[in-house]
Amino acid sequence: MLLGLGLGPGNPELLTLRAVRLLKEADAVFVPGRIARDLVVPYRKPVMLDFPMTDDETRIRHCLKENAKKIAPVAEKGLAVFGILGDPNFFSTFSRLCAVIAETHPGIEYRTEPGISSITAFAAAAGIPVNEGFTVSDGTMSDTRILLKVRRPRERVCQLRAEGYREFVLVERMFFADMKVYRDEDLPEKSDYMSVLYARK
């Protein structure tokens, strides 16, 4: 098993309790750089991996394959943790690493554990309350929307389909014991106040 673990925005006191536990339980912990290493060191001695900051796609691809070779032997037999700044599902290299591992070692399962992302940390650091919808972008146009507090998901999805959205995932009461995940046609008529809807064109 390969686990992408969010380490938060960089302050060691912003690691989650779950992150600390998983760092201690892992068979090996891998990190992509010095800041991530410094966050992990109090709990484990991590393995440093090379993830160059470059636009050279050939070099990036080569490094991803080399890193996959180092991670795979651990992930095939036990728990390999890849600790990454922020959250592993938001603008991170973890998804690209998983794509390479799926090609080269298709038997390895992978999943993620959330960390405090820069998106939410920014509001606290800046002292800005965010009480309305907002857009987050890396400079490119987005075909993805994330909607909070979706009480009538089927009704909302009908509206989104008219706008060209085609892929939907609803997570209800995330990380509670009774969490439910619904996809596309399985969406319920009504959902809990604590529900988040993902939509993609």
Domain ranges of the chain: 2-119, 144-200
Query: pTM value?
Result: 0.85
For residues 181-197, average pLDDT? 93
How confident is residue 200, by pLDDT bands cut at 50, 70 and 90?
A: very high
Q: Which CATH superfamily is domain 2-119 in?
A: Tetrapyrrole methylase, N-terminal domain (3.40.1010.10)
pLDDT, tens digit, 9 for 90 and up, residues 138-182: 778 789 999 999 999 999 999 999 999 999 999 999 989 999 999
- Confidence (pLDDT) at 132: 87
Contact 121, 84 (CB under 8 A): no
CA dihedral 3, 141, 146, 167 (to 10 degrees): -80
pLDDT, tens digit, 9 for 90 and up, residues 13-40: 999 999 999 999 999 999 999 999 999 9
Cα 35–31–3 angle (5° rounding)? 130
